[in-house]
Structure 1
Amino acid sequence: MCGGYYKDSSIEKLTRACNSYDQETRVWQPIKSLSNERSSLALIEYDNRLWAIGGKNLSGSLDTVETYNIVTRLWSKQSPLNIARYSFGTAVIDNILYVCDGNNYQPNQNDPILSSCEYYSMETGEWHLGWTMTMARTDFALVAHNDYLYAIGCYFGNFDKGYIQSMERYNTRTKQWQPMANMPTKRNAFGAWSFMDKIYVCGGYDENNSNSYRASSSAMSSCETYDSRANNWTTIASMNTKRYDFQLVAIDNVLYALGGQSTNGTVEQYDYTTNLWSYTTPTLPFNSYGFGATTF
């Protein structure tokens, strides 16, 4: 996990700290920090490296990209994105790294929601602009699953249109988007992961619970799974804690919900054989939200 906000009873601070969790020793260990503080970034494994992409800080949206080498334990700067962005979607499919949509915020300017995608070329070491999304999305999920890219949910940028439950998938061979079954629940800033041949989504916001953007009262604990072969959604057990701006990841056939707003850094694990969530230890190294996290 890297970046995001550190929070305790008296302070809330943007951080560049990174920590790794060893599944065998069950211990969090600090690793070398990012080059700068940022939140709402993407953290993803690609080409046997850890990629930290984009995000935002007090200067605005970032185009910064850096990679972590697990052998040298050092971060290296890579070619920047073409468009600075945060709260975007990231996925790898057919050995190509994609980033899509998000926001492009700069101080004293508007905060437009993007509808563009970029992909990274291993041959040129550069980012290239790709297709245009059918809908501008932010705080959504982009998930690689069974040979397709799925764009799920989002915040549409105003309370008139609010949060959206739509989903569509992209065929990288035909270069076309196709609408798929909507999520049962409108949500954004949620966690999503391809796990046990389904797409899992949990937490986020529910626009019906609050008139205030990102109010704690709008947080959710509900979870749903998507079966791509049947093109349908199923409601599963809810998490014990309402979470948003958190991360959902899987290790060794166990799904984990990490941190998030108003969670005190707690971690929950999901047992798909019993359909139950339970708290697990250790908690995160600190109470954090808006960070990036992945498995490696």
Structure 2
Amino acid sequence: MMEGSRQTRVSRPYKISESSKVCEWPLATLCKLPTKCGIFLMRSQRVPAHRNLLAVCSDYFNSMFTIGMREAFQKEVELVGASYIGLKAVVDFLYGGELALDGGNIDYILETAHLLQIWTVVDFCCEYLEQEVSEDNYLYLQELASIYSLKRLDAFIDGFILSHFGTLSFTPDFLQNVSMQKLCVYLSSSQVQRECEHDLLQAALQWLTQQPEREAHAYQVLENIHFPLIPKNDLLHRVKPAVCSLLPREANCEGFIEEAVRYHNSLAAQPVMQTKRTALRTNEERLLFVGGEVSERCLELSDDTCYLDAKSEQWVKETPLPARRSHHCVAVLGGFIFIAGGSFSRDNGGDAASNLLYRYDPRCKQWIKVASMNQRRVDFYLASIEDMLVAVGGRNENGALSSVETYSPKTDSWSYVAGLPRFTYGHAGAIYKDFVYISGGHDYQIGPYRKNLLCYDHRTDVWEERRPMTTARG
């Protein structure tokens, strides 16, 4: 007798529908069983099958029949841990290539297919169960996925919970039965459904206060809340009192609030204070355009800030710039958008050059003014590298510039660094392996462009000539 190890199966739910699905397998033998077979599988009733077919289709039987176990020579093998319903359906599938699944047999077939390691059937079961996931049975199916190590089904249910988190997280079933590990996965996700960070904090606090022993996990749970995304006034007057009243001081969770308040108090330095808790809850990257000349005849400037909606393929307006401008520079540092310099006149003359620096916070959709550059600049290059911005060359009312200055968010100030070897504006630039590269451009007036390629090492504060381009460019 074969003593198969049997995992404890959760009781059949009544909340899986009776809808059926027939799965087809083109690799099945598509032959009928002869009257005399090499083996009978026993489970309250006999199920005939060929030994060779079972060994080919099942890792379980392949091991049984090839490593010298006594079952390799028996005409009848009794399986413990497999139901007749499940065993008959699986064997019929191996011969006929069709598997009829419904709410009455799915758990028996899944149990048997997992025991016998027939992974094609397990995959079909997962496909069926994914279609059946609902607010009534998702916890049962999540438990099923855990028992049988069904990573695909488990991931699907995680996605279902994340997309319905705003509703599910406040239901008694969720609050009583979701594990701490799973809750942390959901609270840390960038895809979790929410109206604001308050919703996630409230769900976390409700889960923690369901059972006294959960207080020991308070720090692990709340470290996934993005407290800096909550307004400062709410942190001080709503969040802190709630956390202090619901959780013991020993949980050390007030530190998250203090960290968030420090972040709010250091407005200019926020780009270099970024942590996982300050990050926006999104993985979406956006293509933006900011300002510029909008008329074919350059009759006006724009203050638009727009991003491309990938789904609708339309440009969507966000908060407008504080002032219209063109020939400015844009850079991203620490998740914030910076625009610097530019012209407030459609003539783009150096007399209209600006030294202003604005920062856009996508969390609250606001532009704020930070420290101005030391010099007014248009047609320059702005780059972000490590924890600073670098403004290179350009021109203003005095003509072309060779100066280079860097902006430190930590001190909210600009400082001059090593200047360019020559006056340059209208050049291109890029960051590569922590070096600033600029190429082309011209100097005092519109004329011949340059072939030069210059490299700046901010660690040594030195500009060096590199191999020039083959053609001059502006």
Normalised TM-score (structure 1): 0.59
Which of the residues 409, 412, 416 maps onto 1:179?
416
The 5 Å alignment of 1:30-179 reads 48-56=285-293, 57=295, 58-106=298-346, 112-157=352-397, 161-179=398-416
Deviation at 1:206, TM superposition (A): 2.3
| Contact 1:61 1:103 (8 Å CA) reproduced | no
Alpha-carbon distance in 1 for matches of 2:354, 2:301 = 12
The answer to which structure has the higher helix fraction is: 2
Counterpart contact for 2:331–2:383, Cα < 8 Å = yes
Task: Work out whether residues 144 and 150 of structure 1, in 8 Å CA contact, stay in contact via their aligned partners in 2.
Answer: yes
Which residue of the partner structure matches residue 458 of structure 2?
228
Q: Deviations over 1:160-214 (max 9, x none)?
A: x32111111111111121111011121101001111220000001122xxxxx32
CA distance in 2 between counterparts of 1:110 and 1:229 reads 31
Q: Structure 1 97/47 Cα, relative in aligned 2: closer, same or farther at 3 Å? A: farther
2:473 to 234, 243, 248: 243
1:131 shift after superposition: 2.1
- Cα pair 1:104 1:111 within 8 Å, conserved: no
The separation in 1 between residues aligned to 2:316 and 2:390, in whole angstroms, is 30
Cα shift readout 1:241-261 (whole Å, capped 9, x = no counterpart): 2111xxxxxxxxxxxxxxxxx
Shift of 1:117: 1.3
Percentage of pairs with the same residue: 24
Deviation at 1:233, TM superposition (A): 0.8
Superposed displacement of residue 99, structure 1: 0.2
CA distance in 2, matches of 1:203, 1:133: 23
Q: 1:126-147 deviations in whole A, cap 9, x for unaligned?
A: 3222222211111111110121
Cα shift readout 1:4-45 (whole Å, capped 9, x = no counterpart): xxxxxxxxxxxxxxxxxxxxxxxxxxxxxxxxxxxxxxxxxx
Contact 2:403 2:420 in 1 (8 A): yes
Give the letter for the 2:356 counterpart.
S
Distance 2:284 2:395 in 1: 31
- 2:467 counterpart letter in structure 1: A
CA contact (8 A) 1:89 1:142 kept: yes
Backbone CA RMSD of aligned residues: 2.1
* CA–CA distance in structure 2, aligned partners of residues 139 and 197 of structure 1: 23
Q: Over alpha carbons, which structure has the higher Rg?
A: 2
Task: Tell me if the contact between 1:86 and 1:104 (Cα under 8 Å) persists in the aligned partners.
Answer: yes
- Relative contact order higher in (CA < 8 Å, ≥ 6 apart): 1
How many Å separate the matches in 1 of 2:368 and 2:409? 15
How many angstroms apart in 2 are the aligned matches of 1:47 and 1:233? 36
Deviations 1:99-145 (A, max 9, x none): 011101157x9961112111112232132222222111111111101
In structure 1, runs of 5+ residues without a counterpart are: 1-45, 208-212, 245-296
**Partners of 2:343 and 2:327 in 1: CA distance:** 6
Q: Post-superposition shift, 1:70?
A: 3.3
Question: Which of the pair is proportionally richer in strand?
Answer: 1
Q: CA deviation at 1:71?
A: 4.2
What CA distance in whole angstroms lies between the structure 1 residues aligned with 2:452 and 2:346? 34
Question: 1:54, 1:62 within 8 Å by CA — same for their partners in 2?
Answer: yes
Match of 1:189 in 2: 426
Q: Following the alignment from structure 1 to structure 2, what is the Cα–Cα distance between the partners of residues 168 and 133?
A: 8
For 1:288, the equivalent position in structure 2 comes to: none
